[in-house]
Amino acid sequence: MANKKVNYSETMGTNVVREIDPELLKSAKKVQRHKDFTVLTVVFSVICIVYVLPVLAVLINAFKKNTYVKTDTFALPFNTADKPDMWAGFSNFVTAMTFGNYPFFQSVLNSVIITLASTLLIIICTSMAAWYIARVNSIACKVVYYLCVFSMVVPFQMVMYTLSKTADTLKLNTPWTIPIVYLGFGAGLAVFMFVGFVKSIPIEIEEAAAIDGCGPVRTFFTVVFPMLRPTMISVGILEIMWIWNDYLLPYLVLDINKYRTIPIHIQYLKGSYGTVDLGASMAVILLSIIPVIVFYLICQKYIIKGVAAGAVKG
């Protein structure tokens, strides 16, 4: 069978019979796929380099003295004959963590509290809402679902002034209450992903739990909630990365004289007359992005798995 040849006839004025070896045809297709793969690899490698360059610039400049950050931005931070004092070592990190009258570790603590509390609140509340929307499937539930989807495309700038006033009125301007505000902004994507996954769960499992005497709350937390783990992890990762790096919402809502997150702390890393120590700024930026990068690299496979589970199965 391997040496068998296939006859194809084409009519172009006269009848011509061509013999094509299947192995040769298979080899040609393999070569073409390899070429396509090579082209895509080159294209995506270039895109990756473009995205990595800002992070690389931060890494390089975090170990330079302030003067050379401005004049030799992309030069490696090593001392040379003409620039014997470029290397700043870890002095930038010490300056960043001790500069000003607001401690850096307090900013880190505020960011951790806000990020974890907001993510936990979003996961619990939106998963319950998504389960109800998917199972009841009434007109009111559909309206709520489409409103959640619509909220994903509403720019934050449209509501930020009203939101700031509302947060001050309702006393939501502390690290312990701002998670309620984040719940409103993070609910759209979370509900969308959870609803898609809940639809893939057989309803017979919940009916069996009801026959065994479980009420709605117990059915959700003992039966449904553990099954939402793939999407739960994906939502948690996406929300953590967003909230940890968010600058505008805490800046508008929190009292920055009392509570600062890491992005706000970086913004106020200034000296007299508004002078900025760029070396120290790069050092504290590096400190803030390292946990997120490590966290994302460890958990990136769960993002793809959770999104696929919510979109394809739904």
Upper half-sphere CA count for residue 177 (Cβ side, 13 Å) = 13
pLDDT, one tens digit per residue, over 273-311 is 566 778 888 888 888 888 888 888 887 777 666 666 555
Nearest CA among 135, 122, 126, 121 for reference residue 198 = 135
SS3 168: helix
Res 128: pLDDT: 94
- Phi/psi for 218 (5° steps) reads -65, -35
Dihedral of the alpha carbons of 245, 246, 250, 253, in degrees to the nearest 10: -170
Res 143: pLDDT: 93
> What beta strand segments (E) does the chain contain?
6-12, 14-20
Res 274: pLDDT: 60
Give CA–CA dist 301/297, Å, rounded: 8
Dihedral of the alpha carbons of 50, 51, 53, 55, in degrees to the nearest 10: 180
Name the pTM for this structure: 0.79
**Helix ranges restricted to H, the chain:** 22-61, 66-71, 91-98, 104-136, 139-151, 160-169, 178-198, 203-211, 216-219, 225-227, 229-245, 248-253, 262-267, 278-311
Res 8: pLDDT: 45
CATH (residue range 102-311): 1.10.3720.10
Give CA–CA dist 46/166, Å, rounded: 45
Res 314: pLDDT: 44
Would you state the structure tokens that stand for residue 250, as one six-digit string?
Answer: 């805490």
SS3 205: helix
Task: Say if residues 255 and 173 touch (Cβ distance below 8 Å).
Answer: yes
Would you state the structure tokens that stand for residue 156, as one six-digit string?
Answer: 């934050």
Task: Say if residues 179 and 117 touch (Cβ distance below 8 Å).
Answer: yes
Res 11: pLDDT: 45
Listed as ranges, residues in the chain with pLDDT below 70 are 1-21, 23-26, 28-29, 31-32, 34, 36, 270-275, 303-314
Nearest CA among 223, 228, 221, 227 for reference residue 190 = 228
Give residue for tokens 């069978």: 1
Res 117: pLDDT: 95
